[in-house]
Structure 1
Amino acid sequence: MRSLGLGQIALIVVLIALLMLTGFWATSVWNVTGDAVMDKHGWIALGLGTFFSLLIGCGLMALMFFSSRSGRDDAADPFRRRGEPPAE
């Protein structure tokens, strides 16, 4: 295993800082809006929105996977030759 470079360490530090900032912001927003009341129509809308977002996301990922496995994406990349290993 090779050691991390200075740029990679800086990137990891920045990403961890963004994650912590996002967590702090989400916690503060959650606490501020803790007294908000949502009726049954709000819960239904939240549930349906979550369900259809997951359905569309999973469906698109499945289409991408099956399209890649069927070989139909090969024609879209004219610079890649068949049988040639990918460049690293």
Structure 2
Amino acid sequence: MKGILIAILVMGALLAASVWVSVSVWTSMDGGEIAFSMSWHGWLALTLGVVLTTALGIGLMALVFHSSRSGHDDLDDDA
């Protein structure tokens, strides 16, 4: 149990460090102003793209698990 807690803390620290570096690089390149000047069409397209891509990934992974558990991926010995 202690090993899992240490792993979670290490992964959390790596996540925080990567977010900090990403924000630092983004703001040092004057990218911070560009993101906030996007029109609502841009934000809508970005949001729909993220949501639909995530939904597609979740749906495809669900099909993979369903196919694996229902026996569709098993070899057919009669062929």
Q: How does 1:67-78 map to 2 (within 5 A)?
A: 67-75=67-75
Give the letter for the 1:74 counterpart. Answer: D
Q: Given the two structures, how large is their TM-score scaled by the length of structure 2?
A: 0.61
What are the superposed Cα offsets for residues 35-62 of structure 1, whole Å, 9 maximum, x if unpaired?
1111111001101101110111011111
Question: Runs ≥4 in structure 1, deviation > 4 angstroms?
Answer: none
Gaps of 5+ in 2: 1-13
Give the share of equivalent positions with the same residue, in percent: 47
Counterpart amino acid of residue 49 in structure 2: G
Residue matched to 1:39: 39
Q: CA deviation at 1:63?
A: 0.2
RCO (CA 8 Å, sep 6+): is it higher in 1 or 2?
Answer: 2
Structure 1: stretches of 5+ with no match in the other structure: 1-17, 79-88
Task: Provide the TM-score with structure 1 as the length reference.
Answer: 0.55
Q: Aligned pair count?
A: 65
Counterpart amino acid of residue 61 in structure 1? M
Amino acid at match of 1:71: G
Structure (1 or 2) with the greater helix fraction: 2
Which entry has the higher C-alpha Rg, 1 or 2?
A: 1
